[in-house]
Chain A
Amino acid sequence: MAYSDKVVNHYENPQNVGSLDKNDPQVGTGLVGAPACGDVMKLQLKINDDGIIEDAKFKTFGCGSAIASSSLVTTMVKGKTIEEAEKIENSLIAEELALPPVKIHCSVLAEDAIKAAIADYRKKRGEA
């Protein structure tokens, strides 16, 4: 697959790889995808009492563009409010990384991961 330099850069130097304490009430965890489909993303967001995303970490099993999409998302959401992060659409991710058409689903998965992490956070806070 001939990828853009942005995908290659994120793949070779992924940002914010790692895990946060999933039991921390301030941490929302999103786990999306399936091993059988060839991609699984885990995105964790640490959200402060003002609703601002202080930290983001990811781990991804998937192709280069799935790793790049997750890495990019962690950099995009940091410092944003929950409401702002929720508005991030896959098209923005796909455009930023210049994903080829067959890899658009990676950006969809990244968008889903944000939403799943926020839903988990809200559930923990009893907001869901």
Chain B
Amino acid sequence: MSVKLPIYFDNQATTPVDPRVLDAMMPYLTEHFGNPASRNHAFGWAAKEAVEIAREQVAALIGASPKEIIFTSGATESDNLAIKGVARQYESRGKHIITVQTEHKAVLDSCHALERDGWEVTFLPVDREGLVDIDQLRDAIRDDTVLVSVMLANNEIGVVQPIREIGAICRERGVIFHCDAVQGLGKVPFDVVEDHVDLASISAHKMYGPKGIGALYVRRGRPRLRLRPLIDGGGHERGLRSGTLATHQIVGLGKAAELAAEDLVNGGIDKVRALRDRLWDGIRENLDEVYLNGSWEHRIPNNLNVSFAYVEGEAMMMGIKDIACSSGSACTSASLEPSYVLRALGVGAELAHSSIRFGLGRFNTEEEVDHAIGLIVEKVRWLREMSPLYEMVKEGIDLSSVQWSAH
């Protein structure tokens, strides 16, 4: 049995383009290269038709109507457009936004930008499992609250928020609800109608589509929802996102959305779940003092986020360099701060430094998982032999009683 190295277990960072997606895209780079906005020749018509098919595919994935899909450059742009677009449109109604401490930076930093413009933002805490408290969210809504933004699934720990309940509260209170759905699409059910979502951010490259393309779902119908665009120009996409449509990218997003929807019904995602569970079982059976970060029950099936006590995350990643994964350790970030998501859960700084995220995906195999388990177990044991903390704990020393020299 030979496993091709390195093994890619970082599917929450990005995913490879599915060959079926690439096949769908290719003709729109070569023969059907037209501008979908060219209304008077066959090249434009072919491109326009492909874009509209993709719009239907994306809409079908989330239970929307095609007219409600706005193509963007990716989820960061979608988050910015949703939050700033709502804020600029509705600032006469109030200047208060509610979001959650564990949101993606694209949401948090969009909110911070609005704070500088005089908006007030409530950053709700999460519990030990990473879940937002519904009652706390309900209580945080004020008369001047315009928008609530809560993600479907977290990018680090994969925890799935109770979107349907949040949506119902927002609808009842007349507050606009934005959901960054990027990490959950094709992994857990998501339906904008049943979940009462007004705005949803979508990315292609987290679901086996190309980078550089995403979408924003903007609900139509009553009560009317309007956005102020961020980009001015030719008035594409209902005037919400000017700029020539990237036909091949959009076709790729559409095909990726279609395959993601199939994954949920044809057992595709269950295979990924089985691999993730196999990895976690293999780790737990062979190592002591490994801790799961975030809820197990409310979690996308492709994510595993584990802290290996007494082993620093970046050193661990160097040890298992044949496995591409990521860490919440400060040493892997430019800021030298450990993961803000893990800290929001109340994970201690030591364990945050020791965290590793494994993101399983459609193209991983059992052989890869088994190889990874062997390597992880070997390297954790090796690094623990080198760890003064592990030695102290084995000597019976309580690490919290030690007077550390902070630096």
Contact = CB atoms under 8 A, between A and B. Distances in A.
B310 to A, nearest CB: 6
A38 B329 contact: yes
B348 A59 contact: no
A42 to B, nearest CB: 4
B122 interface: no
B386 interface: yes
Interface string B329-341: 1111010101000
Interface string B362-380: 0000000000000000000
Interface string B195-212: 000000000000000000
A37 interface: yes
A62 B407 contact: no
Interface in A49-102: 59-64, 66-67, 102
Interface range on chain A (Cβ under 8 Å from partner):
20 to 34
B387 A38 contact: no
Contact of B386 (A1, A17, A109): A17
Interface residues of B, number: 30
A60 B386 contact: yes
B338 A38 contact: yes
A31 interface: yes
Contacts of B348: 36
Given A34-B404, A36-B406, A112-B407, A60 B349 contact: no
A118 interface: no
A59 B386 contact: yes
A116 B329 CA distance: 26
B388 A42 contact: yes
Contact of A102 (B334, B405, B406): B334
Among A14, A19, A67, chain B packs the most CB atoms within 10 A around the CB of A67
A121 B407 CA distance: 22
A47 to B, nearest CB: 20
A59 B387 contact: yes
A105 B330 CA distance: 13
B349 A37 contact: yes
Among B334, B350, B390, B399, chain A packs the most CB atoms within 10 A around the CB of B350
Contacts of A33: 404-405, 407
B331 A60 contact: no
Contact of A39 (B312, B318, B385, B391): B312
A11 B350 contact: no
B87 interface: no
Contacts of B329: 38, 63
Contacts of B315: 11, 62-64, 66-67
Interface of A: 1, 3, 8, 11, 14, 17, 19, 31-42, 59-64, 66-67, 102, 105, 108-109, 112, 116
Interface of B: 310-315, 318, 329-332, 334, 336, 338, 348-350, 353, 385-391, 399, 404-407
